[in-house]
Structure 1
């Protein structure tokens, strides 16, 4: 989807189309929207000058997404909002509304599976589609079907998307970025040398910052440079598995199937604080936030029907260094008291001398709750009851 979160917001505020808009910072609330409606009568009637500007933002949030007009100023996803404010102070700042984004996500995916049911869900705004056996799917190398899907999605949601058509997932992902927004790019194997090899290595999904830097240090800048390296040389420098994958990827080879069903391996919740918090001076506040994170992870597990037995914490200090700790227990759980108890034990293994800017809680090793229920019944970690009342677990000392 094209600038998905921002595009959904432009449906709500059409007067902002064509303007630099940034999504991030606070969360959308129904109360605030009600106040706007009471003041202006309709959201689309709010004057552009009445919207908050990014240049006035003070805080430590990060940008979730930005319109293409904002991106022209160098503003992008995951950028700190204070930095973005220096690049584009005139950008309009809107809060995040994940409830609304999930609604539109489900809507555009329902349109796709109605035509091409072999669909792999890759998150809130992206999918892979295997249209090998879709009637008419091969017309013009897939371009006809791609355009039909674009039109159907727009008719159902008012949103645009960009489509990459290729023989495999690796190349389709790359092609989907060629002609944004609202583009269709068809990439055939014979196009590899002309369209893929001139691109930087980082354009391959799976080559991250560290591998990219190492490749550049070795004199490999483009995908074409990478493709010229012998397999043995890549294995020597990057290891057997990753070296072999780099060799295959540079030649456009990818045999991964489109997976229509997948299971989550973990669920987590984390938050970045408005100011750095210290374990000693801000103990009560940190403890309250920590408890809330455990409750939110437990709610996610219960709502989606999973349980886990690897529980961990994540901290990011004021100097941006991060640390994680985790403990694997014998019994699966989806209960907040049990998660908090084990996560609290993880905290005791983390240095707490520095101020903290981010705190997170994670539960991994997930299984379906129905499969784990019998094992969890009557266990301390399964329900939290044998250890005493809920308050007993909640009162464990933290950040001391």
Structure 2
């Protein structure tokens, strides 16, 4: 009996071997692939799509294991300041028990920045901050090559005896040379404390004749506005009908620099050598402006003016003649323990002669409205 039982077991074993035991599950068809965006420091984003609706996203170098064999597509994401690999997607076949590598190389979008300190004799320091944590600091004129495109902010250091320029932010475009210029204005002339409108106007004349940007800006009210004549904004349509505080800052920096500039229409404007007030005479008393005035809650007075703007040999002398309507406003200031009014220029209405720019009888002097003079340097 035992012999028969043993024979049956052997027979069953032989039968199983004969059938090959092929009912075991087959090993899965998988592989490995690597995603490799360059440069590594970018940690560039990517997306993967593959068999069976597989979808995945990530960033930077990555190795994916035990992935089903089949076709996979990697799409490269955008990185600010860099060109996306071309083409921006790639497809490869992952074989069973095999591997593939997707490599995408990003190319930097580059430009140059020129740092221009004026006057050149001022050894002024500066700091420049830009994309991806970029930071540079140096002194004086400098050219920085092959910088990533994007937004850059320059901050100017204080220099004794000068008023430092305001910080500036500008965009560097691919292939562009961006100039960041900082003009240091000498500390202002000996202005008087403006506790009356007339003292403020005396400072106004002195500051213009000395061409000091810093003192000029201190003289202006935060809500300063100048109303231009129609002839001025007809000549310069992009200017609008008024000038605000920021526009006055830009005008003063350019007008007082003595450098050639371009006007809003792109025409060359010779630099100013000197500004002379032949006449700045108040006509009538200072009067409070009503609530319906274009510049309300201030004091105003009309001034008869003759202003000469000298642009040097070979250029006409600009002559402004006529009335300017000045608006002033005061706030309380503590001086020596005493509360004293401190006047600033709240606004201006240009009423000077606007018969159109043209050469007057001596052929060396050009008649022009005061607002048009300012527009040239806007």
- TM-score, normalisation: structure 1: 0.21
Q: Rg bigger for which structure?
A: 2
- TM-score, normalisation: structure 2: 0.22
